[in-house]
């Protein structure tokens, strides 16, 4: 049961092959038995999960089931869950039990899904290795000496290790796609504004976007159908109509034009990874797509641009954590200043502090024009690069990451080296485009991800291309040895 | 040395919306602490702002009311600083692209002169919560009910030269915003709060001196006192050859002094940047025109019309256009009685006096405009004298009904029956022989004074109901 | 504008004060070092010609939706204050604020 896709589980539940309580119990048992190896969950509430499963079974029996009724889903611990701790991987929120659900959680509840648990993550979603969690690092199920990627590392590892059939993640600079690539699963970052950000703890408001992480494109489509749509309580949420993301999955790729940005295939790309990507592209070509050489000339500016905008927004988004209304508060503050500075010193980890300081600096008097404003201008140039490409091609393809998963600890003392991990993913967030990572082979038993980038709101096409690719390959069906049985 | 005072005012106006600017919480004043603070107002993790349309509409209304440029594309920014009454650690405000640009309005000084004061800009922002310093074991209590209440910050040019002008500016502004219906203007509840920027310079100098900012002065009287006090303080410093320090000062009404708030000055770097949780507010001409077409007659226009149409002086026109409801009341009285001047007198002296004594607003007046108009009609048609009219008015205040009803019920109708009056006049003449002799002996000038005695006696006899004009005529005929 | 790439320790202290984060004496050196590296990395942007380029705050260049002025929230003080570190009489408590 644990290696079934969400689509199969939905079908099995409808056909009464098994109950939601059985499915939920199965995954809860696997988490209990195995997650000590991976540390992919921060919180699991068996009682409420089983209660929700029981309620789902009643609905299924009554024949009024919604699209995901009875399906257990793991949620990144960045989404506020009513009555269930939402830590965001931080000591700051270690004791935070929100009295409200994020819109995304409400939508999953509306469609009948069961909350399986809350997954580990880099603190406040800042990181590319999941080593920045207050709850300790997550291990890659393919090799527990490796990082799972970040910041949605817990969600990626949980799905890869078959501890959850599917999960949610968030992606500010690659945080869904990079861990999906490292863990050999399928992950989609939708267009900015496609999924509500309400109740999702903010990192960088103009970049953050939630998306599905699952075994297949088909499952991602199923989850996105639940997640996507206008939320009047999020001003940045889009009014663009939502389509049924499964409807076009099987469309032919005949005539599809795929752009290959030469900047994504340069010196920085690991050779073996590049070969996997080329093989994958050949498959798409074999299905009738045309490969087109394109250029994204401002690519080398994406890292500096991102590392101004994201920290700047984060530095003020995280000001609300002051020890007054919720979350961590230092013991016996001597005065207001002590309350603030010690609460925040104790509550935030090193990388979070670093980004708050960089962001504060970039916004401070005398530097705003040179840093933040400049970055927002370059951001427009970066977006324009993509717009120009999409004049010639339908989607853009390349590697998700410069190489496969690296060893735990290998880059944790070198922030810049860590930032370079996101070189192929950041631009998608800056431009607000949808992007996917799809399993495309292995290098030394380490998964490799193929990244697909689409026009704004063209998620259905990305899912279509991924699905067709997955019909012809079985990379997405392979599971780490420890996850079998 | 002779100093010239230069003053600019920043007014924080609470807009009269039902819900907050970025959340659906109520804005009612005086609720139990933190019962009107929603997850958005408390800056709970993941919460996001959504802009209230009415706040935008009110800001545009204000802009049109002062003939300002309207920001067709305005932007919210974050103003970052830590303070316990500011839950997000930033205030959402407008910095580079405010919704209202340059405008101006005229203020009327007590001597009747008119000054034009420029408005630099007005922008939308959210209010902060309140810190309560009563003793909670030496701690401060935070109430966030007010956090997120919509504010329009109205920034004047440094066009104001003294305390009287500052007060006139604030009164005119207060009148304007209540006319527009965009604020309840309740100063006691903090609906209009004022920061005063003030500096001195030698008379004739064109350059501005170093200014001090006096925060949060919340009544017209305190504005006046704080300015006087601050002028003295700065003049003393300058006369002694010292330099004014640019700083924020707090007016302490209890001690009638301003004092430095140096604690707030430490490294103020607000790190403004565009609020990424909100998008640019783009409004179109149709929206602005729709608002423009719904604007009421503004106080300055009404004032002007009152002087033209009713022949009122500046002072009367000013009093009677003080609020829309008073002006409406006055005009209803005029419409009923047809005499604008007498109506102006009655409304200002009797009605406002009565309202003042019983601490009532015009909306709660016990005397309706129709009744007051009816009363004046009876004066004009000589049914009653002015003196009797005051009795009738008192009856109206007691709720005894219309003028005719009260005159009828109390039997106050003026006696104009010449037969009845003649009997009374004869009685007075025959009963006061000494005075009659004195009168007849006096010359023309003296007689004019002495006749008053006889009139008074007749009035007394008639319980005030005799028609004084007819009494005079009869006396003139009989005292020969 | 040309920005000086290196940042002094006292400047980091000023920034940390603005951000209300205490940094201990033994950490300040390393923090300064790391932030200097990051600022050097982002400094590449200074070379880009961005004349006449409108800054992009939102990737979709969308505009703000407006909400009808309606009260939609009810009193949830009890639920919110149940998770607060220090409350009394419905107020959040902080160390004495001195103006």
Q: A277-305, pLDDT tens digit by residue?
A: 999 999 999 999 999 999 999 999 999 99
Q: Which of A205, A210, A325, A429 to mutate to test the interface with B (most CBs of B within 10 A)?
A: A325
Beta strands B247-252 and B212-217 are parallel
Token couple for B369? 């405009």
By the CB < 8 Å criterion, does B29 face chain A?
Answer: no
C34 has a chain B CB within 8 A of its CB: no
Q: What percent of chain A has pLDDT over 70?
A: 99
Check if A345 contacts C (Cβ < 8 Å): yes
Rounded distance, CA B23 to CA A232, Å?
12
Match 């009856």 to its residue by tokens. B395
C77 lies in some domain: no
Q: How far is A322 from chain C (nearest CA, A)?
A: 9
Q: What is the pairing mode between strands A290-294 and B77-80? A: unpaired
Interface of A with C in 109-148 (CB under 8 A): none
Per-residue tokens: B93: 């405000």
Length of chain C (residues): 99
Q: Which of A208, A172, A127, A192 is nearest to A426 (CA)?
A: A172
Give the separation between CA B299 and CA B167, rounded to whole angstroms: 17
Which of B43, B140, B273 is best to mutate for the C interface (most C CBs within 10 A)?
B140
| H or E element in which residue B281 lies | strand B281-282
**Confidence category of residue C3, pLDDT binned at 50, 70, 90:** very low
Nearest to A68 by CA among A207, A262, A224: A224
Cα–Cα distance, B448 to B446 (Å, whole number): 5
d(CA B411, CA B415): 10
Q: Which of residues 259-288 of B touch A (CB under 8 A)?
A: 269, 271-273, 276-279
Contact between A344 and A355 (Cβ < 8 Å) = no
Model pLDDT, residue A484: 52
Indicate if A315 belongs to the active site.
no
Asked if the C-beta of B373 comes within 8 angstroms of chain A's C-beta atoms, the answer is no
Contact: C71, B19; criterion CB under 8 Å: yes
**Residue C35 resides in a domain:** yes
Active-site residue, selected from the candidate residues A87, A151, A152, A299: A151
**C86 vs chain A: nearest CA distance in angstroms?**
7
Percent of chain C residues past pLDDT 70, beyond the cut: 92
- Residue B436 φ/ψ, nearest 5 degrees: -65, -40
CB proximity A192 to C under 8 Å: yes
* Per-residue tokens: B375: 């009363």
Whether pLDDT at A483 is above 70:
no
Structure confidence at residue B271 (pLDDT):
96
Q: Are strands A435-443 and A41-43 parallel, antiparallel or unpaired?
A: unpaired
Domain-located, residue C34: yes
Neighbours of chain A (3+ CB pairs under 8 A): B, C
Transcribe C10-50 into DSSP letters: HHHHHHHHHTT----HHHHHHHHHHHHHHHHHHGGGGGS--
Pick C64's closest partner by Cβ from B17, B132, B281. B281
Q: Is B46 in contact with A325 (Cβ distance < 8 A)?
A: no
Within 8 A of B271 by CB-CB distance, chain A residues are: 316, 360, 363-365, 368
Give contacts of B136 with chain A, Cβ < 8 Å. none
What's the distance, CA A24 to chain centroid? Answer: 23
- Check CB contact of C36 with chain B, cutoff 8 Å: no
- Give me the residues of chain B with pLDDT under 50, please: 265
Does an H or E element contain A470, and which? helix A459-472
Overall number of domains in chain C: 1
Test B44 with C95 for CB contact under 8 angstroms.
no
Answer whether B46 sits within 8 Å of A200, measured CB to CB: yes
Inside any domain, residue C31: yes
**Contact call for A316 and B271, based on CB within 8 A:** yes
Q: Which residues contact B378 (CB under 8 A, 6 or more apart)?
A: B384, B389, B392, B403, B404, B407
Chain A residues within an 8 Å CB radius of C43: 304
CB atoms within 10 A of CB C6: 9
Spatial separation of the C-alpha atoms in residues B450 and B30, rounded to whole Å: 64
* Structure-block tokens of residue B196: 């005063």
Nearest CA in chain B to A100: B39
In this complex, is the C-beta atom of A383 within 8 Å of any C-beta atom belonging to chain C?
yes
pLDDT confidence tier of residue C1, bands split at 50, 70 and 90: very low
CB B154 within 8 A of CB B13: yes
Domain with C28, as residue range(s), is 9-47
- C71 in a structural domain: no
**Which chain A residues have a beta carbon less than 8 Å from that of C72?**
none
Q: What is the dihedral of CA A177, A179, A183, A186, to 10 degrees?
A: -20
Chain B residue nearest residue A314, CA to CA: B276
A82: helix, coil or strand? coil
Tell me what the mean pLDDT of segment A116-129 comes to.
Answer: 97
Residue A324 has which token pair?
A: 């007054």
The verdict on a CB contact (< 8 Å) between B34 and C72 is no
Confidence (pLDDT) at B336: 92
Which residues face A437 on adjacent strands?
A187, A451
Residue C64 lies in a domain: no
Please report whether residue C16 resides in a domain.
yes
Q: Are B295 and B180 in contact (CB under 8 A)?
A: yes
Of B106, B103, B99, B95, whose CA–CA distance to B120 is shortest? B103
User: Is A151 part of the annotated catalytic residue set?
Assistant: yes
Q: What is the mean pLDDT of residues A74-80?
A: 98
Q: Do residues B276 and C57 touch, judged by C-beta distance below 8 A?
A: yes
* Average pLDDT along chain A: 97
Instruction: Please say if the pLDDT value at position A10 is more than 60.
Output: yes
For residue B393, with 0-12 CB atoms within 10 Å meaning exposed, 13-18 middle and 19 or more buried, which class applies? buried
CA angle in degrees (0–180, nearest 5) for B277-B45-C70 = 60
End-to-end CA distance of chain B: 73
Do A376 and C45 count as a contact with CB atoms less than 8 A apart?
A: no
- Under 8 Å CB pairs connecting chains B and C tally to 125
Strand A435-443 versus strand A186-189 pairing type: antiparallel
pLDDT digits (tens, 9 = 90+) for A227-266: 999 999 999 999 999 999 999 999 999 999 999 999 999 9
Tens of pLDDT, residues B62-105? 999 999 999 999 999 999 999 999 999 999 999 999 999 999 99
Place of tokens 């699952």: A214
Question: Are the beta carbons of B90 and A236 separated by less than 8 Å?
Answer: no
**Nearest Cβ partner of B279 from C64, C89, C96?**
C64
How close is the nearest chain B Cα to the Cα of C78, in Å?
9
Is a pLDDT exceeding 70 seen at residue A41?
Answer: yes
Asked whether the beta carbons of B114 and B144 are under 8 A apart, the reply is no
* Domains of chain A, CATH where assigned: 6-255+461-483 (3.90.1300.10)
Tell me the residue length of chain A.
485
- Neighbours of B, requiring at least 3 CB pairs below 8 Å, are A, C
* Mean pLDDT value of segment A159-174: 98
Residue C2's pLDDT band (cuts 50, 70, 90):
very low
Q: Cα torsion at B231, B237, B241, B247 (round to 10°)?
A: -90
User: Do the beta carbons of residue B307 and residue B114 sit within 8 Å?
Assistant: no
Distance from CA of A214 to the nearest CA of C (A): 26
Distances (CA, A) of C36 to A4, A217, A311, A357, A412: 49, 42, 15, 11, 17
**ipTM of the complex, rounded to two decimals:** 0.96
| Unique residue bearing structure tokens 């001409």 | B285
Tell the residue number behind the tokens 């260049």, with chain if given. Answer: C61
Residues B170 and B215: their CA atoms lie apart, in Å, by: 15
Give the whole-angstrom CA distance, residue B345 versus residue B327: 13
Q: Do B35 and C77 touch (CB under 8 A)?
A: yes
3-state secondary structure of B153: strand
Residues in CB range of B454: below 8 A, 6 or more apart: B425, B428, B429, B432, B435, B439, B475, B479
Looking at the domain assignment, is residue C88 inside a domain?
A: no
Structure tokens at A3: 């290696």
Question: Which residues 340-369 of B are in CB contact (within 8 Å) with C?
Answer: none
- Residue B4, classed as helix, strand or coil, is strand
Q: How far is C17 from chain B (nearest CA, A)?
A: 9
- Please tell me the predicted confidence (pLDDT) of residue B262: 63
Question: Helices (DSSP H) in A98-207: which residue ranges?
Answer: 103-110, 153-160, 177-183
Check: CB of residue B433 under 8 Å from CB of residue B426: no
């Amino acid at each position: 049961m644990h290696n079934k896709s969400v689509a199969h589980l939905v079908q099995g539940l409808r056909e009464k092959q098994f109950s939601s309580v059985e499915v939920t119990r199965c995954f809860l048992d696997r988490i209990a038995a195995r997650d000590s190896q991976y540390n992919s969950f921060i919180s699991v509430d068996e009682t409420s999960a089983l209660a929700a499963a029981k309620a789902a079974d009643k609905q299924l029996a009554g024949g009024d089931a919604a699209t995901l009724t009875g399906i257990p889903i793991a949620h990144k611990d960045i989404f506020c869950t009513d009555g269930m701790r939402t830590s965001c991987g931080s000591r700051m929120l270690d004791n935070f039990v929100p009295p409200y659900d994020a819109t995304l959680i409400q939508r999953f509840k509306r469609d009948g899904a069961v909350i399986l648990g809350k997954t580990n993550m880099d603190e406040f979603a800042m990181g590319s290795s999941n080593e920045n969690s207050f709850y300790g690092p997550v291990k890659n199920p393919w090799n527990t000496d490796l990082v799972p990627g970040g910041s949605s590392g817990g969600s990626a590892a949980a799905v890869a290790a078959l501890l959850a059939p599917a999960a949610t993640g968030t992606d500010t600079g690659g945080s869904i796609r990079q861990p999906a690539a490292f863990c050999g699963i399928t992950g989609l970052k939708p267009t900015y504004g496609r999924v509500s950000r309400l109740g999702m703890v903010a990192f960088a408001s103009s970049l953050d976007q939630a998306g599905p992480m699952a075994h297949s494109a088909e499952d991602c489509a199923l989850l996105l159908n639940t997640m996507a749509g206008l939320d009047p309580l999020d001003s940045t949420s889009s009014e663009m109509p939502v389509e049924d993301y499964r409807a076009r999955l099987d469309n032919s790729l005949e005539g599809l034009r795929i752009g290959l940005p030469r900047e994504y295939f340069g010196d920085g790309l690991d050779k073996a990874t590049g070969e996997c990507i080329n093989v994958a592209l050949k498959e798409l070509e074999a299905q009738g797509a045309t490969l087109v050489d394109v250029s994204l000339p401002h690519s080398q500016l994406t890292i500096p641009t991102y590392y101004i905008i994201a920290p700047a927004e984060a530095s003020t988004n995280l000001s609300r954590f002051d020890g007054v209304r919720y979350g961590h508060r230092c013991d016996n503050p001597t005065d207001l200043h002590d309350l603030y500075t010690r609460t925040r010193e104790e509550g935030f980890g090193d990388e979070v502090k670093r980004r708050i300081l960089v962001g504060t600096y970039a916004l401070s008097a005398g530097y705003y024009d040179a840093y933040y404003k400049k970055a927002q201008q370059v951001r427009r140039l970066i977006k324009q690069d993509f717009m120009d490409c999409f004049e010639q091609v339908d989607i853009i393809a390349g590697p998700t990451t410069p190489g496969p998963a690296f060893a735990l600890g290998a880059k944790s003392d070198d922030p810049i080296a860590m930032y370079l991990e996101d070189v192929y993913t950041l631009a998608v967030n800056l431009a607000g485009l949808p992007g996917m990572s799809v399993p495309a082979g292995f290098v030394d038993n380490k998964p490799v991800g193929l990244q697909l980038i689409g026009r704004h709101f063209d998620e259905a096409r990305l899912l279509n291309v991924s699905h067709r690719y997955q019909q012809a390959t079985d990379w997405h069906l392979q599971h780490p040895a420890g996850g079998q049985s | 040395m002779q100093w010239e005072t230069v003053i600019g005012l920043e007014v924080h106006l609470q807009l009269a919306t039902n819900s907050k600017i970025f959340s659906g919480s109520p804005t009612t004043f005086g609720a139990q602490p933190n019962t009107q603070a929603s997850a958005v107002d408390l800056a709970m993790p993941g919460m996001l702002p959504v802009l209230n349309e009415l706040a935008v509409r009110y800001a545009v209304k204000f802009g049109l009311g002062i003939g300002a440029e309207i920001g067709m594309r305005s932007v919210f920014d974050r103003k970052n600083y830590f303070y316990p009454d500011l839950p997000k650690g930033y205030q959402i405000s407008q910095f580079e692209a405010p919704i209202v640009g340059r405008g101006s309005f005229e203020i009327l000084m007590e001597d009747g002169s008119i000054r034009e004061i420029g408005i630099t800009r007005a922008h939308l922002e959210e209010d902060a919560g309140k810190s309560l310093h009563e003793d909670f074991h030496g701690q401060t209590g935070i109430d966030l009910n007010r956090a997120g209440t919509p504010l329009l910050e109205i920034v004047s040019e440094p066009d104001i030269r003294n305390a009287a002008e500052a007060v006139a500016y604030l009164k005119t502004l207060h009148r304007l915003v209540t006319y527009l219906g965009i604020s309840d203007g309740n100063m006691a509840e903090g609906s209009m709060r004022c920061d005063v920027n003030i500096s001195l310079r030698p008379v004739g100098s064109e350059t501005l001196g170093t200014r001090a900012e006096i925060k949060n002065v919340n009544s017209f009287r305190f504005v006046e006192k704080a300015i006087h006090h601050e002028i003295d303080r700065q003049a003393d410093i300058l006369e002694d050859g010292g330099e004014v320090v640019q700083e924020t000062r707090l007016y302490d009404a209890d001690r009638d002094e301003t004092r430095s708030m140096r604690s707030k000055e430490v490294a103020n770097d607000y790190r403004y940047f565009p609020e990424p949780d909100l998008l640019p507010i783009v409004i179109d001409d149709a929206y602005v025109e729709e608002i423009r077409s719904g604007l009421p007659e503004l106080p300055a226009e009404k004032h002007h019309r009152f002087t033209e149409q009713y022949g009122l002086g500046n002072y009367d026109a000013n009093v009677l256009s003080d609020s829309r409801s008073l002006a409406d009341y006055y005009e209803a009285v005029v419409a009923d009685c047809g005499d604008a001047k007498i109506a102006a007198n009655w409304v200002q002296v009797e009605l406002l006096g009565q309202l003042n004594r019983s601490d009532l607003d015009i909306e709660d007046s016990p005397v309706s405009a129709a009744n007051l108009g009816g009363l004046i009609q009876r004066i004009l048609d000589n049914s009653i004298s002015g003196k009797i009219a005051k009795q009738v008015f008192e009856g109206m205040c007691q709720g005894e009904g219309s003028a005719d009803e009260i005159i009828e019920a109390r039997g106050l109708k003026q006696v104009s029956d010449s037969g009845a009056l003649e009997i009374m006049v004869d009685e007075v003449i025959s009963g006061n022989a000494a005075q009659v002799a004195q009168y007849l002996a006096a010359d023309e000038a003296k007689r004019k004074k002495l006749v008053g005695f006889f009139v008074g006696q007749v009035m007394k006899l008639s319980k005030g109901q005799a028609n004084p004009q007819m009494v005079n005529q009869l006396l003139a005929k009989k005292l020969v | 504008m040309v920005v000086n790439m290196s940042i002094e320790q006292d400047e980091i202290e000023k920034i940390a004060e603005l951000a209300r984060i205490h940094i201990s004496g033994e950490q300040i050196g390393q923090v300064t070092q790391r932030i200097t590296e990051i600022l050097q990395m982002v400094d590449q942007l200074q070379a880009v010609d961005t004349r006449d380029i409108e800054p992009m705050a939102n990737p979709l260049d969308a505009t703000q939706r407006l909400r009808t002025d309606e009260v939609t929230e009810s009193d949830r003080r009890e639920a919110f204050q149940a998770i607060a570190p220090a409350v009394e009489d419905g107020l959040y408590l902080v160390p004495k604020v001195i103006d």
